Structure 1
C-alpha cells in the first residue's frame, strides 16, 4: 500500500478530478444525497489517498482543522469494487496517524455515520453526541483523545 498526502494546490488537475468523481460517486450518487460535495474545507484540507500496488485509488479521506479549531477528518471512502478487503481499516489508521503528525497531541473529532459507530470505536473513538440527521443520514459525533 502507498499513502499519498497532498494539499489541494499540490494535486494535479487530473488527480483532483479523479478524487472529486469518486467522492460524488460514493456520497451523492450511491448514498442518494444531493448536497454541496466540494466545499471550502477542500481548500485547506490534506487529501489522503490510499493506493494499491497497481497505483489504483482504494481509499480516500481529507484531514483538516475545523472552524472551531478542532482536528478532524471526513469524506472517508473506499470505492465499491475495493470494499470487503480491509482497506477501510488501513485507510482510517493511516488517516489517524497522519492527523497525529499534522496536529500533535490534539483530540480528533469526527462526524461518523451512525452505522459505523463500532468501526470507529475499534480505533478508540468515543461517542460524544446523540444520533442526529446530517443530509438525511444518521450521524453522531465521536472523539479520539490525543496523546499527551
Structure 2
C-alpha cells in the first residue's frame, strides 16, 4: 500500500476526485449525514492518504494553524470499510502527528472528534478539552495533543 502526503496543488485531479469520493461515501452516505464537504479548507491543507492501486483506502487532512483552530488540526479521518480493523487509522494518525511535529511550528494539535472515537484518540495521546457538542447532528468533543 502506497502512502502519500501532498499539498492541494500537488494532487492530480484524479486523486482529488477519489479523495472526495471516499469522504462522501464515508461521511455523507455511510454515516447518513448530509453536510458541505467542500468547505474551502482543502486548499491550504496537506492531504495524507493510503492507496491500494486506484483505491483510496484511508485518508485524512492536516490543516495548518489559523484555519480551523489556533493550532494545526487533523480532520476528515477515514478508512474505507473493507480496510478497517487492520490498524490503518492508528498508523495514519501517528504519521500525521509526526508530519505536524516536523513541518509546523506548534507544540499542540487540536481535533474535533466524533464521540464514538473518543477512546481511539485518547489511546493516541489526545486529551478531551471540551464538553460534548453537536457538529452536523453528530456528538463530538474537542481534543488536544501536546508535545
Q: Which runs of 5+ in 1 are unaligned?
A: none
Superposed CA offset, 1:3-30 (max 9, x none): 2111111111001000000000001111
Q: Which runs of 5+ in 2 are unaligned?
A: none
Secondary structure of 1:108's aligned partner:
strand
Tell me, in whole angstroms, the C-alpha distance in 1 between the residues paired with 2:116 and 2:105: 29
Superposed CA offset, 1:65-87 (max 9, x none): 24343110100000011111111
Report what 1:59 is aligned to: 58
Report the more deviating stretch, 118-127 or 87-96: 87-96
Asked whether the 8 Å contact 1:110–1:143 carries over to 2, the reply is yes
Deviation at 1:55, TM superposition (A): 6.5
Deviation at 1:57, TM superposition (A): 2.4
Report what 2:16 is aligned to: 16
Q: What's the TM-score, normalizing by structure 1? A: 0.91
- What RMSD in Å do the two structures reach over aligned CA positions? 1.5
Tell me, in whole angstroms, the C-alpha distance in 2 between the residues paired with 1:22 and 1:55: 12
Secondary structure of 1:39's aligned partner:
coil
Equivalent residues in 2 for 1:79-94, closer than 5 Å: 79-94=80-95
Q: What's the TM-score, normalizing by structure 2? A: 0.92
Report what 1:50 is aligned to: 50
What count of residue pairs does the alignment treat as equivalent?
A: 145
